[in-house]
Amino acid sequence: MEAISDKILVCGAGGFIGGHLVADLLKQGYQDIRGVDLKPFKEWHQHVPEIENLRLDLQDRTACERATRDVRIVFNLAADMGGMGFIENNRALCMLSVLINTHLLLAAQKHNVERFFYSSSACVYAADKQTSADVIALKETDAYPAMPEDGYGWEKLFSERMCRHFREDFGIVTRVARYHNVYGPHGTFDGGREKAPAAICRKVIQAKLSGKREIEIWGDGNQTRSFMYIDDCIDGSQRILASEILEPINLGSSELVTINQLVDIVEKIGEIKLKRNYNLKAPKGVNGRNSDNTLIKKHLRWEPATKLRDGIEKTYRWIYDQVSSGAN
């Protein structure tokens, strides 16, 4: 019998969540880790020279075969994505990430990978369930009948089902988490792919440093969301992969805030009050979205619990250091 290797593959290791996952696996004592990303190493969010780092385009099937060789566990966190500003204007690019998950699954099948994690998104949820800021939290069953976010959400929904059918037909243990807005240090905070928490922190910091006491907010500020701190995302992803949860499951915070309340929190941390200019033409996504955590609490007796105030404080401090040192 062939010896089972303990090699863990992190796809998208140069990105925000992938970088944190690698750091956490190392902290837990895992040593045989392969990190793969399309970006040149100098652009990776976190540099971890002690693991095997490969630069590959995972849309390519041969690259996926190289990446999965001798691997026991795969985390697929690689995708061409960003905040609303990016996904509303780059639908074809978002949909092309379907090649990454498809080729990774085929390669995983070929190399007898044992467990495969796929990072899906709350963008799979039907738009007609998210028309009001006064939300009813989204349950996993709300993804069907399907009417997801155009482009990005369709790709995620399709790839979820691909994972399901590879599990049913080929026996790969696939697990799928639907992430709801993840934020934290080492995330993208400028350049067009940043999401609301990082963008608002950066804008408040820039206003503070420049003395221009104004902030532009996308939408009317009344849209509601929940935001999950990165540590909860990393912890929850590993719990879901190790679990017996067969269907895609929400991984998100259930602490609901309006964008205006998020700005209040950041202003308080930055000890500043700004004039708010609402840009009603900017991409703002759905009116309201929250994570129903009934299922994750039932299966894991756990849910993301970091308070938004605490997570934003750490994120703000990190972005402050980046902006004030000119790292952006």
Show which residues are catalytic: 152
DSSP summary character for residue 301: S
Residue from 39, 110, 161, 298 in contact with ligand NAD (CB under 6 A):
39
Considering the rule CB under 6 A, would residue 18 count as an interface residue with ligand NAD?
A: yes
Residues 203-242: x where in contact with ligand NAD by CB under 6 A, - otherwise, as a string: ----------------------------------------
Number of residues lying near ligand NAD (CB under 6 A)? 25
Considering the rule CB under 6 A, would residue 53 count as an interface residue with ligand NAD?
A: no
Buried b (16+ CB within 10 A) or exposed e, 188-209: bbbeebbbbbbbbbbbbbbbbe
**CA 253 to CA 143: how far, in whole Å?**
18
First to last CA, the chain: 51
Considering the rule CB under 6 A, would residue 304 count as an interface residue with ligand NAD?
A: no
Check: CB of residue 160 under 8 Å from CB of residue 124.
Answer: yes
Q: Give, as ranges, the residues between 123 and 182 that touch ligand NAD (CB under 6 A).
A: 179, 181-182
Name the closest residue to ligand NAD (Cβ): 15
Tokens of 324: 């004030």
Residue from 51, 74, 78, 143 in contact with ligand NAD (CB under 6 A):
78
Check: CB of residue 179 under 8 Å from CB of residue 252.
Answer: yes
Residue from 8, 16, 135, 303 in contact with ligand NAD (CB under 6 A):
16
Q: HSE (CB half, 13 Å, CA atoms) of 37?
A: 24
Residue from 53, 68, 90, 119 in contact with ligand NAD (CB under 6 A):
119
Tokens of 121: 């998104």
Nearest distance, CB of residue 228 and ligand NAD, angstroms: 8
Nearest distance, CB of residue 259 and ligand NAD, angstroms: 15
3-state secondary structure 145-191: CCCCCCCHHHHHHHHHHHHHHHHHHHCCEEEEEEECCEECCCCCCCC
Considering the rule CB under 6 A, would residue 68 count as an interface residue with ligand NAD?
A: no
- Helix (H) or strand (E) run with residue 271 in it: none
Residue from 25, 33, 81, 256 in contact with ligand NAD (CB under 6 A):
81
Considering the rule CB under 6 A, would residue 121 count as an interface residue with ligand NAD?
A: yes
Nearest distance, CB of residue 37 and ligand NAD, angstroms: 5
Residue from 9, 10, 33, 58 in contact with ligand NAD (CB under 6 A):
58
Residue span binding ligand NAD (CB under 6 A) among the ranges 73-81, 202-210, 276-284, 293-301: 73-81
**CA 319 to CA 186: how far, in whole Å?**
8
**CA 46 to CA 43: how far, in whole Å?**
8
Which residue ranges make up the site for ligand NAD (CB under 6 A)? 12, 14-18, 37-39, 57-59, 77-81, 100, 119, 121, 179, 181-182, 188, 195
